[in-house]
Amino acid sequence: MNDTPARKPTALVIDDEVQLRRLLRVCLEANGYRVVDAAAGQEGIVAAAQSRPDVVILDLGLPDMTGVQVLQRLREWSRVPVVVLSVRDREEDKIAALDAGADDYVTKPFGTGELLARLRVAQRHAQPGPEPGVFRAGALEVDLTARVVRLKGREVKLTATEYSLLRLFVQHAGKVLTHRQILREVWGPRALEQTHYLRVYIAHLREKLETTPAEPRLIVTESGVGYRLMEEP
């Protein structure tokens, strides 16, 4: 019998608000995390290198550099999942953070339950194993090996582009994908401004996969930012 206690995941909080750092420490430690914190960007980068956290919670407004700059520095050497937690709710800020390498974006004020759920999703996809053969979400089943899509057990015919788009969502299920990320992966770097392509094909997928296309629960819109494939619609 192995009595060795399970290793606690480490969360690094980079935020210049003392009260928020205290709140997050209490919340995270109560939910099984070991917490390291930093009040500035450079301090956070050093802490990330020393503590090798399992997840980072990052504010965008730091005293010495922007959160996006911290992200860019981290992404030079680390793939640690980063969830941005910021009072800034403008679309441009969300897009900049996600394009710089953030895994998710939560605005203040926030619910601790939602934040913990976002952290779990980010960690789950941080170290992906071999691509799963079959992805399931509700009535949807995507067999990536056979390239077959089924809804309620019945095969759904998709065009090559529709399938490429759905496969990208499956590979990043639960994560926000920005318009530019999707366009680059599916249509190539020359199509980064062709957002009408995306709207048309998202509509096609919803018509084929959603129970009520006008009220999507599977492929949801992150307003002004992009889309997310829900793992549990």
Q: Which amino acid is at 62?
A: L
Question: Span 180-184, mean pLDDT?
Answer: 89
Q: Domain of residue 202: give its range.
A: 134-229
Domain ends where: 101, 124, 147?
A: 124
In this predicted model, what pLDDT tens digit does every residue of 18-31 receive, in sequence order?
A: 999 999 999 999 99
CATH number of the domain to which 73 belongs: 3.40.50.2300
Query: Which DSSP category does 142 fall into?
Result: E
Is the separation of the CB atoms in 84 and 60 below 8 Å? yes
- Which structure tokens are listed for 82? 């980063």
In this predicted model, what pLDDT tens digit does every residue of 37-93 receive, in sequence order?
A: 999 999 999 999 899 999 999 999 999 999 999 998 898 788 899 999 998 888 889
Shared domain for 149 and 212, answered yes or no, is yes
Shared domain for 78 and 139, answered yes or no, is no
| Count of the separate structural domains present in the chain | 2
Statement: the pTM of the whole predicted model exceeds 0.85: no
